[in-house]
């Protein structure tokens, strides 16, 4: 995981702007297809993401 974010959502700023939210209403996760297959997940699935400090979920693309 690289921690790359959509440039309009850096540090979760501007999530409350309706036009931007309509374009990207949810978090997206890019994952290597081979890694995804090994984990039994694929495009459109929702996956949990965890670190020692926090966790979240995102839709795979």
In tens, the pLDDT along 1-60 reads: 555 555 555 556 666 778 877 887 887 888 899 999 999 999 999 999 898 988 888 889
**Entry pTM:** 0.62
Enumerate residues 6+ apart whose C-beta is below 8 A from 15: 9, 21
Give yes or no for a contact between 29 and 58, defined as CB atoms under 8 angstroms apart.
yes
pLDDT for the residue 39: 92
Rg (Cα) of the chain, in Å, rounded?
A: 13
Residue 2, pLDDT score: 55
Residue tagged 């790359």 (tokens): 4
Instruction: Please state, in angstroms and rounded to a whole number, the distance separating the CA atoms of residues 36 and 53.
Output: 23
Report the pLDDT value the prediction gives residue 6, as an integer from 0 to 100: 57
């Amino acid at each position: 995981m690289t921690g790359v974010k959509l440039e309009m959502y850096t540090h979760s700023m501007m999530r409350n702007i309706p036009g931007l939210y309509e374009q990207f209403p949810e978090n997206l996760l890019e994952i290597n297809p081979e890694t995804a297959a090994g984990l039994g997940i694929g495009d459109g699935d929702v996956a949990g993401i965890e670190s020692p400090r926090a966790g979240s979920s995102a839709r795979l693309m």
